[in-house]
Amino acid sequence: MQRRLFSPYLVLAGGILAVSTASVLIRFAQQEAPSLIIAAGRLTIAALVLAPLALKRRRQELRQLGARTWGLLIFAGVLLGLHFSAWIASLGLTSVASSVVLVTTTPIWVGLLSGVVLHERPASGIWAGMVVALVGGTIVGLSEACTLGAGGLSCTGVATMDGKTLLGNGLALLGAWFACGYLLVGRGVRGRVSLLTYVFVVYSASALTLLMLAALSGAQWTGYSWRLWGLLALLALVPQLLGHSALNWALKEASASFVALALLGEPIGSIVLAMLLLGEAPTVLEAVGGGLILVGIYLAGRSSAPTG
């Protein structure tokens, strides 16, 4: 048995930390560019950075990929592109907390479908952790419309949520469904290809999907400042190349349900960064919900050792 060089738990923690930076970077970028330009720029830069390395070190593996594997890799890339197009658009319509919490309902859909698609039945501890974490996520989501005060819980804000906010929340949920498909396909194919080959092909397919969507929408690529291009480069390097690649590495070592559940740690990092950089201070409900998310991840991690 070959000993793992890195613990899947440690890699996942680092990946979630890196992914958590995305929502704040996107909010800054949305001050200047439309959502599709941001998503397409992020994936295109990531694919271009990977291209020389992949073509030099994995040329033979790329040539030997079968048609079915190519199809699955491209399909995963398309799903990732659709995930980003829906989620990034949602960040311009609703709050960071609501968008991130809704998009990270992914574990529900992965848990429900992994038994059918992958024949992986989540352990009882994962289900228990998922319930606790999702209760925490729901509380964080409610913080958009509810407040907790001396008089108890008041949700008068539900009635004042406008169509823009509801559309943003709907797009975030749609992004969760696309992310579910992306994780399920990735779990099925990662055992057959190296990480570098996987992320290069998937990110390239995702970039092409987003470039086509941007072209169809009539989005313009000119007239932006160097600040925006710097933000796109940061999005490509930190949450994409470091964050998502860490998650893709973990897909070979752990079940899709466990990786998806670990993603519930993202709202915590995003809320903290939003507080520090955007001035969006967390409410009492967000703090309580964030604590439950951490407890849920801990429960799942204790009872489910990653598989290899």
Per-residue pLDDT of the chain (308 residues; tens, 9 = 90+): 344 545 667 888 888 888 888 878 888 898 899 888 998 999 999 999 999 999 999 999 999 999 999 999 999 999 999 988 888 788 778 776 677 667 777 777 777 777 667 666 666 676 777 788 778 777 766 666 666 666 665 655 554 556 777 788 888 889 989 988 988 888 888 888 999 999 999 999 999 999 999 999 888 888 899 999 999 999 999 999 998 888 888 877 777 777 776 776 776 777 777 777 767 676 777 778 777 877 776 676 665 544 44
Is residue 2, in this structure, part of any structural domain at all? no
What is the Cα–Cα distance from 33 to 267, expressed in whole angstroms? 24
Structural domain harbouring 244: 8-303
What is the Cα–Cα distance from 275 to 270, expressed in whole angstroms? 9
Is residue 21, in this structure, part of any structural domain at all? yes
Is residue 260, in this structure, part of any structural domain at all? yes
Is residue 308, in this structure, part of any structural domain at all? no
Q: How many degrees, rounded to 5, is the angle at CA 107 between CA 208 and CA 145?
A: 95
Tallying the residues shown for the chain, one arrives at 308
- The predicted model scores a pTM of 0.76
State the DSSP H helix or E strand holding residue 70, giving kind and residue range, or none if neither. Answer: helix 67-91
120 within 8 A of 256, measured Cβ to Cβ: yes
Q: Which of 98, 6, 117 is nearest to 285 (CA)?
A: 98
What is the Cα–Cα distance from 148 to 129, expressed in whole angstroms? 25
Is residue 1, in this structure, part of any structural domain at all? no
What is the Cα–Cα distance from 103 to 20, expressed in whole angstroms? 12
Is residue 288, in this structure, part of any structural domain at all? yes
Is residue 3, in this structure, part of any structural domain at all? no
Token pair for residue 26? Answer: 């996107």
What is the Cα–Cα distance from 36 to 217, expressed in whole angstroms? 8
Is residue 122, in this structure, part of any structural domain at all? yes
- Counted domains in the chain: 1
